[in-house]
Structure 1
């Protein structure tokens, strides 16, 4: 999967997430996706390749980095809580979609109950 396909897959999944919004607070080279004003995904190519930066549970992040050479610590983010997806043939569309969803739900679960667009404990279970 090339970088454009990687970012397109991440964008496609975001379209299915309630309350997700795109902003450009860092200028045109960055796409910042938020839910209720909290960042859960960033897209950029400032590193020379199109990348996707996602929030991740620290234990999951370690396992993902150990299992995939194209998943590294978060670019310009807290290396314990964020990961970066790099383009290659190694990352499946399903894995990208799952990681975007997980990032979104990690942010949603820390929102006050009244501000949550979905219940993070049951979202997606009826699919």
Structure 2
């Protein structure tokens, strides 16, 4: 997956916005002001931090060498995926969808209604 296709996919999520709160090379993708993805391009490779259920986070790490505990994140709930071609795009997209859904499911009723109104 390329940087452009990754960004397009992340921003296609309902209510998704992109910000640079930390520096010029670390993009944070949020829904209703809650982070669901963090994309780093500072290294020589593209990487993305995604929220996961704890058991799923461990499972992905067991299956893929390109998945490591979330860099600068809660290691129980976040994974970093190094996008190097090891993981099929379909699996990465599933992880992105799960991360987004986990964040949306934890929004307040008011925030969920506001998100629905954006559609």
TM-score normalised per structure 2: 0.87
List structure 1 segments (4+ residues) > 4 angstroms apart after TM superposition. Answer: none
Higher helix share goes to which structure?
A: 2
CA RMSD of aligned residues (A): 1.5
Q: C-alpha distance in 2, partners of 1:31/1:89? A: 21
Q: C-alpha distance in 2, partners of 1:81/1:8? A: 26
Q: C-alpha distance in 1, partners of 2:57/2:5? A: 20
Does 2:16 align with 1:20? yes
- Pairwise CA distance, 1:85: 0.6
TM-score normalised per structure 1: 0.82
- Pairwise CA distance, 1:34: 0.5
Q: Which runs of 5 or more structure 1 residues have no equivalent in the other structure?
A: 119-127
- Pairwise CA distance, 1:93: 1.2
Whether the 8 Å CA contact 1:10–1:100 is kept in 2: the answer is no
Give the match for residue 91 of structure 2: 95
Higher strand share goes to which structure?
A: 2
Does 2:28 align with 1:36? no
- Pairwise CA distance, 1:48: 4.1
Aligned length: 114
Structure ranking higher on relative contact order (CA contacts 8 Å, 6+ apart): 1
